[in-house]
């Protein structure tokens, strides 16, 4: 068994008061995060997008295999293709009984089969999970804990974008196989979600929802 090289941990323990202040400030920042469906076409610099992706890519992963790819799309033609395909898939899905029930559940949030945000927002991130990789000899390498790893990275991506002053939306068209072809990604990768990012449109409104209190989302023993 070989052991990977190690180096000293770059870590500084914070005084308790500073740690608490940081935790509360970050909590208040993230409490203001809301899913947005009305986006402005205002451009977002690529450098800001790159910083957010690198933050997402710092996530922990099974065996440090980093089984993700973020297809970052700003090209209008690609965004239009994704919108057209996603809307077609959603209409077909809603045509079934299960789809009708799903649409009824989403109705209070103002969701329907029309997805203009996929074309209007300046950036789309298509998050792919790499189900397996290849070694230097071209042999398939199993990846471990792929959904868990990609889920953590996706959460960091959303937090990084919000921290940078951008609005986001997570969208999961059903099915999503068309995203491989549009984004030019191999069959070894499974599309997990689209993260839409940009600035909210002037006068943007969001549903009046609440979030569960601490005693409903955590237990302390």
| Number of other CB atoms surrounding residue 184 within 10 Å | 8
Q: What's residue 137's pLDDT?
A: 87
Q: What's residue 98's pLDDT?
A: 57
Q: What's residue 110's pLDDT?
A: 58
For 96-142, the DSSP string reads: SHHHHHHHHHHGGGT--S--THHHHSSEEEEEEEESEEE-TTS-EEE
Pick among 3.40.109.10, 4.10.110.10, 3.20.20.70, 3.40.50.720: CATH of 35-201: 3.40.109.10
**Rounded distance between C-alpha atoms, residue 135 and residue 8, angstroms:** 28
Q: What's residue 210's pLDDT?
A: 93
Q: What's residue 2's pLDDT?
A: 62
Q: What's residue 217's pLDDT?
A: 97
By residue count, the chain amounts to 221
Q: The tokens of 218 are what?
A: 């955590």
**Mean pLDDT, each 10-residue run in order, the chain (221 residues):** 83 97 98 96 97 98 96 98 91 68 60 87 98 88 96 98 98 92 96 98 94 97 96
**Sequence spans of domains, the chain:** 35-201
CA distances for 193 relative to 47, 117, 124, angstroms: 22, 14, 10
Q: What's residue 182's pLDDT?
A: 97
């Amino acid at each position: 068994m070989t052991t990977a090289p190690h180096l000293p941990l770059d870590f500084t323990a914070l005084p308790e008061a500073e740690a608490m202040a940081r935790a509360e400030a970050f909590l208040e920042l993230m409490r203001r995060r809301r899913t947005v469906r009305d986006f402005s076409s205002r451009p977002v610099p690529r450098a800001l997008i790159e910083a957010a992706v690198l933050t997402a890519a710092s996530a922990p992963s099974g065996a440090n295999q980093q089984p993700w790819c973020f297809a970052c799309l700003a090209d209008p033609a690609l965004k239009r293709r994704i919108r057209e395909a996603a809307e077609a898939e959603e209409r077909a899905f809603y045509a079934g009984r299960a789809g009708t029930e799903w649409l009824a559940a989403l109705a209070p949030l103002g969701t329907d089969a029309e997805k203009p945000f996929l074309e209007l927002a300046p950036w789309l991130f298509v998050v792919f999970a790499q189900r397996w990789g290849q070694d230097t000899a071209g042999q398939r390498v199993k990846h471990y804990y792929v959904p868990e790893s990609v889920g953590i990275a996706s959460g960091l991506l959303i937090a990084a974008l919000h921290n940078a002053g951008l609005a986001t939306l997570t969208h999961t068209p059903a099915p999503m196989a068309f995203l491989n072809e549009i984004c030019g990604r191999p069959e070894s990768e499974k599309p997990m979600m689209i993260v839409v990012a940009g600035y909210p449109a002037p006068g943007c409104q969001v549903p009046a929802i609440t979030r569960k209190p601490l005693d409903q989302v955590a237990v302390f023993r």
